[in-house]
Structure 1
């Protein structure tokens, strides 16, 4: 059977080992990567359904299924009695924005062989949590986009932040329109961290980083109302809650 442990709830994750002699494994429709020892990482989107299956397939056609129950979350939802702003981004803005989105997408597809996914993650910086993962506004019944990461502020620019786990830098840019100075680190097996709005970056694309290494300073670059670190985690296309990786801030 599969063996695994982790946080089986929306925005959560598991680490485990596939059954011996497995040739292919999936979580729902996602094909899992596993190493020579059969170890794998998988995760559950903020809006994950309450039930999903781990499936292992063998060379002789047999399969093993392990059903998982994913606990729902009570997200921080704010109902506002105003209409959502109509329309979308302008053509002029999207001419700038689309290459940035493409660069972010391509960076997250890179496979570097990093093994940070095996580690217990640490907080990149300690401070006040000013924005929680999954929070969302509803405009007269119409949902806005939810907050895709966690915001941490220390009140000033220039505070150092560190790598929460080992990895490889797959994107490091100075001037994206929304993110400002943006850093994306691959932790392996499809798991990556993004750090937004920095005032300074200390690593470059291709650099290997270790857990606890100083990689940037908090700032307010890009579209930000004040200095803070926006830290988000993704596994494939699933957006994850950093709090479920680190536990409460101490």
Structure 2
């Protein structure tokens, strides 16, 4: 969706070309954009990293505001302002009563481990490269039925838990997990408390994928992988009730929905043949 420049409405010159955006403007979406090489870009007041040829990414979280200002300054100093209006999404909420507290609340002895692991994940996501793999196209990292969706949330005994920020693919234990796009491994952990076998891949310009609950982690930190290359195996490690892959994506700290960039589902399942060409490493 391309939005027209509105800079004239607030006294900003409008001689520059506005950004061209690709993707759905909605809560939870990952969007790519193109501007003239050498341009500067801001989302509201936040600078956006732009490649030498004018490519960038934008990510909008589960509960993102519905309006943003995208400002582009061309190499000659002129600016455009685009108003981005996001579609509001609704999410599945499940209420469950009578659940023992020990089932949903970690014990004190586990809290130190949980905090240390959360810091590892946070540090892994600070890695931001100039890879252009974030532009896609992407493939599904596993094949199977979709058993969990982005944004859903459970309320145990009246207490809301954290929303689910990934998409779950139910698959047999030991089924291959492959890279949905080329990337560099920034985290490779065989046994985190919540997520079990976990891998994070940096796709460039703030975009990363995370893969949870794997039985086997088959890559190492710093390793570069191609699209479609196996990085591990489906499992049920960590806090999981059955074999599946939980695929999550981030734009920096914003958690976005992988479905917004993945090939379309077919009858609630990942496509049998989702191979596409690799774009950039």
TM-score between both structures, scaled by the size of structure 1: 0.91
Bigger shift: 185-194 or 81-90?
81-90
- Report the CA distance shift for 1:91/1:31 in structure 2 as closer, same or farther (over 3 A): farther
Matches within 5 A, 1:23-172: 24-57=40-73, 62-80=78-96, 85=101, 89-139=106-156, 142-154=159-171, 156-172=172-188
- Report the CA distance shift for 1:81/1:177 in structure 2 as closer, same or farther (over 3 A): closer
CA contact (8 A) 1:84 1:142 kept: no
CA contact (8 A) 2:145 2:169 kept: yes
2-structure distance, mates of 1:181, 1:139: 26
Bigger shift: 209-218 or 72-81?
72-81
What is the total number of aligned residue pairs between the two structures? 248
Q: Secondary structure at the match of 1:7?
A: coil
Q: Secondary structure at the match of 1:169?
A: strand
1-structure distance, mates of 2:242, 2:156: 24
Q: Secondary structure at the match of 1:197?
A: strand
2-structure distance, mates of 1:230, 1:188: 21
Cα distance, 1:85 vs structure 2: 4.7
Residue in structure 2 matched with residue 214 of structure 1 by the alignment: 230
Residue in structure 2 matched with residue 17 of structure 1 by the alignment: 34
Matches within 5 A, 1:184-203: 184-203=200-219
2-structure distance, mates of 1:56, 1:50: 20
Unaligned 5+ segments in structure 2 are 1-17, 272-281
Unaligned 5+ segments in structure 1 are none
TM-score between both structures, scaled by the size of structure 2: 0.81
Q: Secondary structure at the match of 2:28?
A: coil
Bigger shift: 87-96 or 195-204?
87-96
Cα deviation digits, residues 43-96 of structure 1 (max 9, x gap): 111111111111124677653211001001121122345689599644422211
Q: Secondary structure at the match of 2:23?
A: strand
Structure number, greater radius of gyration: 2
Residue in structure 2 matched with residue 239 of structure 1 by the alignment: 255
Residue in structure 2 matched with residue 6 of structure 1 by the alignment: 23
CA contact (8 A) 1:84 1:139 kept: no
State the superposition RMSD in angstroms: 2.3
Tell me whether 1:228 sits opposite 2:210 in the alignment: no
Residue in structure 1 matched with residue 274 of structure 2 by the alignment: none
Bigger shift: 132-141 or 65-74?
132-141
Q: Whose strand fraction is larger, Structure 1's or Structure 2's? A: 1
